[in-house]
Amino acid sequence: MNHTDLHDPEKFRSQLLPLFFLTSIFFLNFTIRIIISPLLPTISEDMGLTRDQAGSFFLISASGYFIALLCSGFVSSRLLHKRTIALAAMGSGLAVMAAGLSPNLMAMRLGLFGVGMASALYLPSGIAVLTSSTDTRNWGKAIGIHELAPNLSFLLTPIICEGLLLWLSWRNVLLFVGMASILLGLSFYKFSTVKDFKGEAPHLKAFLPLAATPSFWMMMALFTAGVTGTLGVYSMLPLYLVKEHGLLQTEANTLMTLSRMFTLPMPFIVGWLSDRFGLKPVLAVVLIITGLSTLLIGVFTGSFLTVIIFIQPPASVSFFPPAFAALSLIGSRETRNIMVSFTIPIAFLIGGGLVPNLIGIFGENDFFPLGFMLAGGFIMAGAAFPAFLKFREAH
C-alpha cells in the first residue's frame, strides 16, 4: 500500500460497511445490556419485585459479563473473531428473549446472566476486527464512530422502550430486541467480508508485572468510579424517579432521554480539554462534577432534581476519553490490552453491578436517596487518584 492510499477518502469509504456493521452490533449489544433499566418500573410491578430484587438484576448481568470478558480470548482463539462477534450478537439476543419468556424471578436472573456472558464476547473481537479492517491513519475516526454506539444506546433506549410499550408488553419488547440482535448477528456472519483471524488467549504471567504497578490499581479504582457514574446511576434512576418521586415511567424515561442529548458532543469537547490542560486535571474535575451531581440526585426534589439530572450524564460520559488515554500511558505497549482486559471487567462488575444492587438494597430499606448520595461520594473520592498516576511518557 503506498502512502497516498492512507489518505484516500475512497479507501476509507470502502471500509465504512464493516464499520457500520460493527457499530450496529455494538449498539444492539449495549442496548440489550441496559434495556432492563427503563423497563424496570413495569417489570417490578408485573412480577411483584422488591427494590433489592430489581437492583440484583444488574449485579447478575454484570457477573456474567465479568466472567465472559475475562475468558473472551479463549473463545476468539478457537472460533476466530468473526464467529465470536456473530455468537455475541445471537447469544445475547437468545438470552434476552429467554429473560422475556421467564415465568419467575429465578428464570429472569438466569436469562440476564446469559445476557451478560454473551454480550461480553463482542468488545475484544469487535475492536480487533475494526482496527484490522481500517487503515491505521483512520483508526481515530473509526473508533470515534464505533464509540457513538453506547452513547446513542443510553440516549435512545428509554424512548425505544416507551414507543414499543405502546404496542407491546415488556416481555414482547425483550423478544423484539432479541430477535433484532439474532438477525443482525446472522447477517454479519453471512454477508460481512471482514478479515478473520484468531484472538489471543490471556496469559496470567503477563499480568504479574502489572500487579506490581500502583498506577494500574489506581486506574482500576478510577474506572470503577467512572462506570458507577454512568451505568450505576443509569440502571437505578428510572426506578428511583418512579418509586421515590412519583413520576410516571413515561415521564422518567423521557427525562432520561432528554438529559442524555448533551452527552453526544462531550467526548470531543473533553478530548480537546485534555490536550489543552492535561489528562490528570481533567480527570479530577470530571470526577468531582460527576460525583457531586450524583450525590445531589439523592438530595434534591422537584425542578432542582431535574436540573441535576441534566448535569450528571454529560459529566459522567466525559470520564472515558481521558481515562482510556491515561490507561494507554501506563505500562508498556505489550501490557496495554492486558490492562484493559482486567480493568474493564472489574469496573463493570462493581460500578455497573454491585453499586446498582446496593442502591436497590438501600431503596428497599427506605433509604433510596442515600444510595445515590453514597455513590456520589465514592465517585468524588476517586478524584484524588489522578494526581498520583505515573505515566510512562510525559503528557
Instruction: Give the chain's domains with CATH numbers.
Output: 1-202 (1.20.1250.20), 203-395 (1.20.1250.20)
- pLDDT-based confidence at 210, cuts 50/70/90? confident
**Three cell numbers written together for 28:** 444492539
Residue 289 vs residues 115, 237, 286, 352: alpha-carbon distances, Å: 32, 18, 5, 19
What is the reported pLDDT for 340?
Answer: 75
Which residue has better confidence, 330 or 306? 306
What is the reported pLDDT for 3?
Answer: 46
HSE toward the beta carbon, residue 322, CA cutoff 13 A: 30
Distance CA 43, CA 34 (A): 14
**Three cell numbers written together for 89:** 450478537
What is residue 334's three-state secondary structure? Answer: coil
DSSP 8-state symbol, 366:
T
Name residue, grid cell 456520589. 376
Res 143 pLDDT > 80: no
Distance CA 2, CA 8 (A): 10
Taking residues 322-350, report their average pLDDT.
80
What is the reported pLDDT for 7?
Answer: 53
Res 220 pLDDT > 50: yes
Question: Cβ contacts of residue 359 below 8 Å, gap of 6+?
Answer: 55, 232, 236, 240, 368, 371, 372, 375
Distance CA 320, CA 271 (A): 10
C-alpha angle 389-220-223 in degrees, rounded to nearest 5: 95
pLDDT digits (tens, 9 = 90+) for 9-38: 666 666 777 888 899 999 999 999 999 999
Taking residues 327-338, report their average pLDDT.
71
Q: Which of 297, 106, 330 is nearest to 221 (CA)?
A: 330
Res 314 pLDDT > 90: yes
What is the reported pLDDT for 5?
Answer: 46
Distance CA 356, CA 232 (A): 5
pTM of this prediction?
A: 0.89
Question: Cβ contacts of residue 48 below 8 Å, gap of 6+?
Answer: none
- pLDDT-based confidence at 132, cuts 50/70/90? confident
Q: Which of 134, 116, 133, 144 is nearest to 58 (CA)?
A: 116
Which residue has better confidence, 343 or 58? 58
* CB distance 291 to 380 below 8 Å: yes
Mean of per-residue pLDDT scores for the chain: 90
**Three cell numbers written together for 152:** 446513542
* CB distance 235 to 356 below 8 Å: yes
* CB distance 108 to 45 below 8 Å: no
Distance CA 384, CA 394 (A): 20
* CB distance 96 to 181 below 8 Å: yes
Residue 288 vs residues 233, 352, 368: alpha-carbon distances, Å: 15, 19, 22
Span between the terminal Cα atoms of the chain, in Å: 32
pLDDT digits (tens, 9 = 90+) for 263-290: 988 888 888 898 889 899 999 999 999 9
* CB distance 357 to 52 below 8 Å: yes
**Three cell numbers written together for 128:** 480487533
